[in-house]
Structure formats: C-alpha cells, structure tokens
Amino acid sequence: MLILKSVSLFDGDQLLEGTFDILIEKSKIKAIVPEGNKIDIKGARSIELKGTLACPGFIDIHAHLREPGEEWREDIESGSLAGARGGFTTIVAMPNTSPPLDRPELIRHIARKGREVRGAKVLPSGAISKNREGKELAELFGMAKEGAVLFTEDGSPTSNTELLRNALLYTKDLNLKIMEHPEDPYLSNGGQINEGKISALSGLKGIPRSSELIGVERCIALAEELRSPIHITHVSTKESISAIRSAKERGIPITCDTTPHHLSLEESEIIKSDFNPVYKVKPPLRTLEDIEALWEAISDGIIDAIATDHAPYHPDEKDLPFEEAPFGIASLECAVAVVLNEWHNRKQKISIERILRLFTSGPSRILPERYRELGKLKEGGIANITVLDLEKIKKVNASSWVSKCRLTPWDGITLKGWPILTIVEGEVFQIDI
C-alpha cells in the first residue's frame, strides 16, 4: 500500500478545498480523506507531499514513438519511460511509423506492448488510409477492435478530401475521432519557417499561414456537413483559432489542441539561435501575436487539450544545416514544465484549473468513451496520478533524459513548475521531492 500525505487535490475539473491523504492499494485509489482524518496503515509506504498538488495522470494524445521501424529514434519502451518522467501516465502513439500503423495486427502489437511497458501506458492510433497514401481507407473497424483510440495521417494531412469525408462517416458509427493535421501541402511545400518578417530577413522559404487555415476550414466544413466530430491537432495561428472559435459557437462538433512549443516560443528564436534545427517544427513557430491568441483561446475554453507532438530524431539526423534538417523536436520530459513556466511568466492570469484540464479531462474526452475515467482522480479509480510542485525551479538537463532523443530547444533552460511524482496504475516512477 502507498499513502500520499497532505497533498492538495485537482480532481480533473476543479481544485478541492483543503489537503488530503490518498491511499493507493495495488492499481486502485482505495481512499481519499481530508488531512484531519489521516490514514495510518502499518507497513504502508508513505510519501509526504505538503505544498504540492495531486492531479489525474496527465494524458498526451499526440506523440511520435517511432515503433515499428525507426526504433533508433525512439521506441515504445523509451517513450513510455520518458512520458512517466515528464508527468504523463497515458500517451497516444502516432501511426506514421515504418510501416505505418494501418492494419489490425500492427495495432494489436502496439496495444499489447503499450499495456506491458513499465512507464506511461501507450495507446495506438491508426492510419486513415492504407500505407498513408490517401488512396484507400485502411481497415478502420479492425483497428478499432484491436485498440486504436483515434485515426490520423499525422505527419501530413489527409491528402484526399473524399477519403477524409468517408473516414468521418465511418468513424461516426465507431464512436472514434479522426485527428487531422491541418496543412495544405502545396502551399507549404519547401517551406522552412513561418512566412513573414523572419523568413524575409533570413531568406528561408516561408510557410504561409493560409496553409494551416485551409486545413482547419476543410475540417470545419466536413464536420458541419456530416455532423461528425473531428479533432484538429497542433493549432498554431490566430486565424485558425478564430475559425475554430466561430465554428464552436455555431455548434459544429470540433475539438483542437496546441503544443507547448507553440505556446512558448516565438519565430525570432530561430535567428537568435543562429538557425539551430531544434527550433524547426511543423507547423512552424509563429509570431508573438499568435502566441497571445493561443493563450486567449485557453482562457476562453476554445482549446481542448495540450499535446506534445514529441517528434524524436537521432542527433545525426538533426546535425545538418537548418534547411536540410527534418521537422520535429523532443519534449515529453519537459513539456508540462514548459507550459507551467509560461503560465507563471504570464502572472497566472488564467486559473491553474483551466491549465490542468488541458492535460487531464480535456484529452480524456477526445479519446473513446471507455477512457473518460482517466481524466478523473477519485476513490475507486485507477491510480494514475501526477503530482506537481508549482513552485519548483529546475534546469532542463536533456543529457539525463531517458528518451533516446535529447534534441530540444529547452536544454539548459530554467523552468518553474514541475511534475515531481508520477504514479502509473499504482507504481511510482519518479520522485523528485
């Protein structure tokens, strides 16, 4: 048995008044009692957590774990352990692997490994089309039966709009969501960074903002016509937020997420870093105005989740001139701290509850109904718990990461607000108290 003592509690929706003791027995939360009614069980391990905050285990619905086929970059096990170190208890692995996760047997393999790993539990997502070619629908029903929790072509948009429309019709009956990467590949082709002042100064080819907006508007049009829900991932521009806000106000069934890097890094960082490829992501880093629009959308409840888009590469693959390096960065082990640090920098103008929902109940509602309880911390629930110290100040040390990828723009940066304890199904994975 394990007892977490004297901890504040966020239940997935709100902060509760007072402090609590939490009793964990095997993989379940046996009891939650106010601190005055302390739990004392002989032989139980206890951890004093005064001044910290217990939350439902954090959920990342968008991480690239590279298995099968590119395990030198990351694999299910290393990604799972990295997730636990970063405060996540559940991770959704993207299907743009080699081969793509487009068949039931591959989903079965990832689902089995994802259950057996020691760190954060890994859930598979499936590709929408066979071989991610956009020509023929993949076996969506078969993949759903084997455990796929959503379908996406992420890494690129769904190239064929008719196929995307058919997938939305099909998944409506499966009660699973399509997660779409919003991009017009013809507009972004060859682009390196955001099109604007920095692309003009640097001479790097820019990716116009309309590339993302066209992808967002396509999702909205299809969801409105079919009344079939769709999730739009890694939203990065004020125009996209405006379109999503308007669509939600009209009752169109869409949800969206954004990333820690789009909430915290401005495009000028690329020049300041002397074109370090760790700042090369897709969608690209945007302007300060876009960052402000994303935070306003968090404040308004327009954004439903924060997802890492953890995209690991071997160091040699990124050790190239900016133009030649691939898009993507690693962030699982510092993503939560990045967001909390930015929240502190913004003088905590948004309630901490709203931030925490984006890592807990928000993403749980994007997953199938059977995962809804993951976003709650309650008696009788699975003992997936993330404990935060909102005042903890620590420097990011990527060389100590358990992820195979240490290419991250925050290496060496001091951040305020860290996960200090991650408990996955009753097992303690990190103590940094």
Our answer to whether residue 13 is catalytic in this structure is no
Per-residue CA distances from 35 to 7, 48, 376 (Å): 8, 12, 20
Strand pairing category for 150-151 and 121-124: unpaired
Q: Cα–Cα distance between 367 and 217 in angstroms, integer?
A: 23
Amino acid identity of residue 429, one-letter, is F
Distances (CA, A) of 136 to 131, 132, 166, 345: 9, 9, 10, 47
The residues, ordered by sequence, that sit 6+ positions from 274 with a Cβ below 8 Å of its Cβ are none
Dihedral, CA of residue 106, residue 233, residue 116 and residue 145, to nearest 10: -50
Q: How far apart are CA 170 and CA 153, in angstroms?
A: 16
For residues 206 and 274, is the Cβ–Cβ distance under 8 A?
Answer: no
Which single residue is written with the structure tokens 């040699």?
Answer: 316
Say which of 60, 102, 309, 389 is annotated catalytic.
309
Q: How many CB atoms lie within 10 A of CB 90?
A: 26
> What residue ranges in 10-117 does DSSP mark as E strands?
20-25, 28-34, 45-48, 53-56, 58-63, 88-93
Residue with tokens 């990333």: 259
Residues with catalytic roles:
309
